[in-house]
Amino acid sequence: MLSRALGRDAIYFDYVTSVEEALGKPAHLAKFEPCCYTPTTAGNEPHQWTNLKNYVENGGGFVPVIARAGASATNQASINLSAGGSRATKGTEFAAKIVKPDHPALKDVKEFTAWDETYFHANHNPKNRTVLMVRDAMKGDPHTKPEPWTWVRTQGKGRIFYTASGHDQRVWNNDGFHQLLKSGILWAVGDKAREGYENFLRVVHL
């Protein structure tokens, strides 16, 4: 769904279902920019997190999508990288609210409504993090404050764009979600890569 939606904008994906294939070898991981990640039930091995951490700190972009892709609530390595662990509650239709509309990672992004799981996060790592979107507090949350939902952070030379959205096709088929990921990806790859992408589009459209 995402390849079809963003392929029109010359954003293409190499898709693998094996975490070891994607993250097991640093030389293979270094071929891609950025690394987009959605969760698996198997979880990640320590060397995979180490490779991903090194990739980011050396200038790579990391785009974890869906709360469980960011981190389990107890995996400290993933919490440190993604800036928070997640726990699921229930699900409902809602729109996350934009709180940093001028951030470049939200360029052309508008609030959108879709059914999603109402995750909340624990063990936040606020270092170098900027929250971009929040959802209103809901029944089952451990607090009454708005829940951070989409954020960015930097680590070393790299950039991380995270969103808790994306539980199933009700979100993945949403044009607003497509734009959110497009803008997040173009921020995560860094200024030089984004400028190269924009120059390519200008040439194509001449």
Q: Enter the tokens of residue 174.
A: 């949403």
Find, among 50, 2, 61, 3, the residue nearest to 23 by Cα. Answer: 50
Find, among 114, 83, 101, the residue nearest to 178 by Cα. Answer: 114
Non-local CB neighbours of 116 within 8 Å, separated by 6+ positions: 91, 92, 93, 94, 164, 165, 166, 167, 170, 171
pLDDT band at 153 (very low <50, low <70, confident <90, very high): very high
Q: Enter the tokens of residue 18.
A: 């094996």
Place of tokens 């090194």: 54
For helices 191-204 and 175-188, angle between their N-to-C axes, nearest 10 degrees: 120
* Amino acid 36: pLDDT: 86
pLDDT band at 73 (very low <50, low <70, confident <90, very high): very low
Integer-rounded Cα Rg, in Å, for the chain is 16
Q: Enter the tokens of residue 54.
A: 């090194």
Helix (H) or strand (E) holding 50, with range, is helix 46-57
pLDDT in tens, 91-124: 899 999 999 999 999 999 999 999 998 888 877 8
Q: Report the share of the chain in percent with pLDDT over 90.
A: 47
* Amino acid 74: pLDDT: 47
Mean pLDDT calculated for residue range 133-142 = 88
**Domain layout of the chain by residue ranges:** 2-194
* Amino acid 205: pLDDT: 66
Residue 175 has pLDDT above 90, yes or no: yes
The CATH number corresponding to 2-194 among 1.20.1440.230, 3.40.50.880, 3.20.20.70, 3.40.50.720 equals 3.40.50.880
End-to-end CA distance of the chain: 28
Find, among 65, 100, 99, 37, the residue nearest to 178 by Cα. Answer: 65
Mean pLDDT of the chain: 86
Q: Enter the tokens of residue 184.
A: 């997040």
Residue 83 has pLDDT above 60, yes or no: no
Mean pLDDT calculated for residue range 161-183 = 94
Cα→Cα distances 171→17, 75, 94, 128, Å: 20, 26, 11, 28
pLDDT band at 182 (very low <50, low <70, confident <90, very high): very high
pLDDT in tens, 2-45: 788 898 888 988 888 888 888 899 999 998 888 888 765 556 78
pLDDT band at 88 (very low <50, low <70, confident <90, very high): low
pLDDT in tens, 48-62: 888 998 999 999 999
Place of tokens 């052309």: 108
